[in-house]
Structure 1
């Protein structure tokens, strides 16, 4: 270990910076292998744009509280999240921040707690969570981190244990990404790993790089099936999906939010709903759904409340 370990807010600042840079560099390849849940070739772009929004929101924030810093970034990312993958990234960041509230520096147990909280938030945000996606990567990372904490003989507040946890997380993350190819039929048929899963691997690798001060090892990605620079844009040869993606933010109490989720589940797919704030002054929810016609979702949403930040995107858009 030759680089300096950074565990305070400067490490979180470096994480977001590294995350944005890494997703920007990899966005084209992520888009190229994006065939699940729909082959619209935008996973990389959506992850990058959401991460950049989160990063920009805390560019002038002054705080020594890790949780406050990352929660601010996560909320901003959710308010302007792009697509299914961007929404889940923002949800994960917000979840990761929760156990870190009031803490000035990162430890092994806090990484494990943050990953578990992020896992719970991300899985619960989806009406129909599917293994073999970025959700599986978060789950594998959380499990490995918790095991590393339990098995470590180093002091819980030590940098030695933090490094053990990060190493275990990285190993589990890559193994989980590789396994996505065999967990979803569409990916197995195309012989490619899941784009969102690789995106989450990039996010967690950026965390390790930020804390340890070591450069991200790009060789971790080139062997992934379909991810080589010479590989074709898989999504361009996949059947186009009819319909649109509708996203918005809406203020609702918990009961009306559950009612809206049920309505969206009955008319669409890929439903994601997660609270943007802590509910102290009422809840705001970020909503995402795929529907045949935009008005199908908009009518249900307007019956529930007054949506803002509404976006409608054709699912058949190609960016080959």
Structure 2
């Protein structure tokens, strides 16, 4: 990124045309202004759960687009926007990022043969941008970024008939975007009830406002820095891959404990490290091949309490045996079917590995993988046909985009949760027909109910349920259903909401902040409440969510 001083830009009014370099400056200003408002956009989340990442996803998508044109000396605006749109396409993250990439795709396509653009060209590009975005969504919903994009296109079309001044035109486009954002709650009841405007629409407004501020010579947060795109590791797995190790947890009670130093030492010992505490008490959690190493270290610092050591290898063998599955399923069949899954959490990744997946893309809630990351995972497999499980509603669009870009036949099974993804994989026949597998897995996915227990990130009223910031909440199939003072209380209430008594198996996937002993104690409590159901406990290791529940 250049050190160009955006805030010192000369006012460009009147401006009749813009070439490739001019568009680059506008785009850089838009990115800087979006970065400046990233956090504010993130909090515009309908549900008070820790997944408000619309601002982050839009910034990462824009950063990927900027990386394609940052060093380009090209003056042809068609060439520059084409490069920009390609970067946005490959770097798109989350539903908001994918739709934004489609907006830029349509915008660039309209300018494909242009050296520069004038008012009429800009209006045509905005219309194509809106149309492309609408076409890219299977079921377009009004009151979203789509509505704002269309309002901008309508304004651009009207203004192009009245003026040739691009600054004047952009002023009206920004005003139209703002009006459309303000009206989103009136079009989408869930926004109105939550008391927020649409986050994606707000992001698009901010992008346009950043461009306008640059053209007016106003500051656009030039010191905004590129946020680091989380390195979502893609792991290609081998059949029978070992190394589950031990889940070790304990409390250190001592004097003048240096939590930062302890955390660094634990990080060096193994995977999924978690160290929190104060100078007198520190909670430690880590996955290691030798449990004696962290325990000995902890004992050297003070007295240990609540020591828990779990053999994860045995745990996952039990998980497989209970479902009558082979311990080392082979993902390579005569049809050569490969499976790519998106998952976050060391324990959850091991569950999917045990079910024979070919590649794991680390990501999910709050960390949506890009289209490019998913595409690379697909292309790097030796399999001729690929099944992709996004396991998160905010990853589905990027998954579908990656599938469309792949050189291989790819079927995206639209799993919206981890339990749905697991249910789908339990139904796979690696020696079976590809299309039959897709149909069977999709059907199996719908048979499982998903529950999620987390902590509310703000106060809100959703679906008639009042939530206070910091309260424990439970979601059933992505809908807020219950609240409570304790995690245990909410888990019980949520399972009743999920009609657990009508199912056979209840599974608790516990998160990184939950101890194995606490999860086991909760399972014992649930067995008393649901004596006719089988209750299973599995290490999930997921962040933000205390428990992910499934009933089947």
TM-score by length of 1: 0.68
Provide the residue aligned with 2:22 in structure 1. Answer: 11
User: Of the candidates 72, 79, 84, which is equivalent to residue 73 of structure 1?
Assistant: 84
**Cα drift, residue 198 of structure 1:** 0.6
User: Of the candidates 203, 208, 226, which is equivalent to residue 204 of structure 1?
Assistant: 208
2 CA distance for matches of 1:121 and 1:288?
A: 23
CA contact (8 A) 2:32 2:220 kept: no
Q: 1:37 to 1:96 in 2, by over 3 A?
A: farther
Provide the residue aligned with 1:24 in structure 2. Answer: 35
1 CA distance for matches of 2:456 and 2:57?
A: 12
The yes-or-no answer on 1:173 pairing with 2:177 is yes
CA contact (8 A) 2:123 2:156 kept: yes
CA contact (8 A) 2:39 2:55 kept: yes
Provide the residue aligned with 1:292 in structure 2. Answer: 417
User: Of the candidates 124, 132, 135, which is equivalent to residue 121 of structure 1?
Assistant: 132
2 CA distance for matches of 1:283 and 1:118?
A: 28
1 CA distance for matches of 2:409 and 2:67?
A: 21
1 CA distance for matches of 2:106 and 2:33?
A: 21
| SS of match in other structure, 2:397 | strand
CA contact (8 A) 1:148 1:165 kept: yes
| SS of match in other structure, 1:3 | coil
Q: 1:134 to 1:68 in 2, by over 3 A?
A: same
CA contact (8 A) 1:65 1:101 kept: no
2 CA distance for matches of 1:125 and 1:138?
A: 13
* Residue correspondences, number: 262
1 CA distance for matches of 2:191 and 2:112?
A: 38
Larger Rg: 2
CA contact (8 A) 1:15 1:209 kept: no
User: Of the candidates 193, 198, 202, which is equivalent to residue 194 of structure 1?
Assistant: 198
The yes-or-no answer on 1:214 pairing with 2:217 is yes
| SS of match in other structure, 1:131 | coil
CA contact (8 A) 2:151 2:180 kept: yes
Q: 1:112 to 1:35 in 2, by over 3 A?
A: same
CA contact (8 A) 1:111 1:165 kept: no
| SS of match in other structure, 2:18 | coil
1 CA distance for matches of 2:42 and 2:67?
A: 23
Q: 1:284 to 1:90 in 2, by over 3 A?
A: farther
Provide the residue aligned with 1:96 in structure 2. Answer: 107
Provide the residue aligned with 2:264 in structure 1. Answer: none
**Cα drift, residue 282 of structure 1:** 7.5
Provide the residue aligned with 2:335 in structure 1. Answer: none
Q: 1:137 to 1:185 in 2, by over 3 A?
A: same
Q: Gaps (5+ residues) in structure 1?
A: 219-242, 252-259, 305-314
The answer to which structure has the higher helix fraction is 1
1 CA distance for matches of 2:34 and 2:153?
A: 21
**Cα drift, residue 216 of structure 1:** 6.2
Q: Gaps (5+ residues) in structure 2?
A: 1-9, 222-363, 380-386, 436-451, 458-552
Provide the residue aligned with 2:44 in structure 1. Answer: 33
* 1:31-89 Cα deviation digits (max 9, x unpaired): 11122798721001111111111101211223222122112111112112111111111
The answer to which structure has the higher strand fraction is 2
Provide the residue aligned with 2:440 in structure 1. Answer: none
CA contact (8 A) 2:120 2:160 kept: yes
Residues 169-318 of structure 1 aligned to structure 2 (within 5 Å): 169-210=173-214, 212-215=215-218, 248-249=374-375, 271-272=396-397, 291-293=416-418, 294=421
**Cα drift, residue 209 of structure 1:** 3.3
